[in-house]
Amino acid sequence: MENLNLEIITLITGVILVLIGIWGLLTQKNLIKIVIGFTLFDTGIHIIMVSIGYVKNRTAPIIDQSVNINDVGNSVVDPVPQALVLTAIVIGLGVTALMLTYVLKMYQKRKSLEINNYNDLKW
């Protein structure tokens, strides 16, 4: 259990979230719940990303009082995944907003949130 570091815990959490998200995507019949599944999946990925950028016992990559300006390379965590996750979050937000909008529109047209009711197009 000595391996069980912070980053590994978060990583596993992320993976589990991803799996739960997929489970939700694949099993839930309600459109809103499917979207929620997606956000879980997305969030899981973000957590994974952040975990990967973590370096043991270091602080956020912002040069302030807690960081030695001359030894930044050894005192901050990797800024790149953080930058990436920022982008990813925004993208996820956009996608989620879109999904919800579509769901709203579909609901307005057919008054149903059941995904099985939207299979007119097939084969």
User: Of residues 54-73, which lie at the interface with another protein (CB under 8 A)?
Assistant: 54-56, 60-64, 69, 72-73
CB 119 within 8 A of CB 65: no
Residue 105 in contact with another protein, rule: CB under 8 A: yes
CB 55 within 8 A of CB 15: no
Query: Least separation, in Å, of the C-beta of 91 and another protein?
Result: 5
Q: Segment 21-40, which members bind another protein (CB under 8 A)?
A: 22-23, 25-27, 29, 31, 34-35, 38
Binding mask 74-93 for another protein (x = CB under 8 A): x-xxxxxxxxx-xxxxxx-x
- CA-to-CA distance for 30 and 116, rounded, in angstroms? 9
* Of the candidates 29, 23, 52, 38, the residue with the CA atom closest to the CA atom of residue 91: 38
